Amino acid sequence: MKLILLGAPGAGKGTVAKLLTAIDGSVQISTGDILRGAVQAGTELGKEAEGYMKRGDLVPDSLIMGIMENRLQEPDCEKGFLLDGFPRTIPQAEALKELLAKLGITLDMAVDIEVPRDVILDRLCTRRTCENADCQAIYNVKSNPTRQEGICDKCGSRVIQREDETEEAISHRLETYNEKTSPLIGFYEKEGLLISIEALNSDAVVNGVKEKLGL
Ligand code: AMP
């Protein structure tokens, strides 16, 4: 499947993407994970992106399009991909449309995951992430804690609260989402690709997607 996952930070895009990869081997492509990996590795990309990310601002479109142009041409994308956290602005969506046309790739749909703001806020404040750049498993202190406190179940690395998950950065990220990313819902509606799923748990979103794709 070739999907875009839309939705505010904390809507569950990453969790849904991980569940969908298990269905047909499509790969999850999270620009946030790629950028955090680059920051940790201290690459040029990471150095450029770090300040924006800490503040909860978007990284410039040109940097993101450079990442995506390369990533979408890697062989593992042939089975399908789940775009998680990209596109995030109208210029990114337009550039993606051009890039996909150039590569001869057709999207199945853009899935908007709708979750109420109070649920999002609560989730983001209680979310914890594995600090190992190759893992980045997501936990929640209330609903999905690690078996051993502070230690990732999957790889044994430390599980931390992300620097952009302080209350201040979270509210800034949500403002940025409303201003810059939510217009993508109208964009994909016009493209005839949008489906909206209102759901509080990721399994319900996955079932909605399967139903729409006839899986
Ligand atoms: P995420 O893990 O998707 O919430 O992304 C974490 C941070 O990475 C965001 O707050 C942005 O600073 C940056 N980022 C991730 N994806 C994008 C994107 N498509 N465009 C611009 N910035 C992004």
Beta pairing partners, 31: none
130 Cα to the center of ligand 1, angstroms: 17
| Residue 144 confidence (pLDDT) | 93
| Residue 189 confidence (pLDDT) | 98
| Residue 112 confidence (pLDDT) | 97
| DSSP-assigned letter for residue 82 | E
| Residue 187 confidence (pLDDT) | 98
| Residue 168 confidence (pLDDT) | 85
Do the domain assignments include residue 50? no
* Contact criterion met (CB below 8 Å) for 96 and 87: yes
Can you list the residues of the chain whose pLDDT is less than 70?
A: none
| Residue 48 confidence (pLDDT) | 97
Quick check: is 173 catalytic?
Answer: yes
Do the domain assignments include residue 208? yes
| Residue 78 confidence (pLDDT) | 94
Do the domain assignments include residue 153? yes
| Residue 138 confidence (pLDDT) | 92
48 Cα to the center of ligand 1, angstroms: 13
CATH code of the domain covering residue 175: 3.40.50.300
Quick check: is 71 catalytic?
Answer: no
* Contact criterion met (CB below 8 Å) for 186 and 110: no
Do the domain assignments include residue 46? no
Domains in the chain, number: 1
Do the domain assignments include residue 198? yes
Name the token pair of 108: 């199945």
Pick the catalytic residue from 13, 36, 123, 128. Answer: 13
Do the domain assignments include residue 54? no
Name the token pair of 162: 């992300």
Contacts of 179-184 spanning 24+ positions with Cβ under 8 A: 180/58, 180/88, 180/89, 181/6, 181/8, 181/88, 181/89, 182/8, 183/90, 184/6, 184/87, 184/88, 184/89, 184/90, 184/93, 184/110
Do the domain assignments include residue 123? yes
* Residue the block writes with tokens 């750049």: 133
Do the domain assignments include residue 179? yes
Structural domain range at position 203: 2-26+79-213
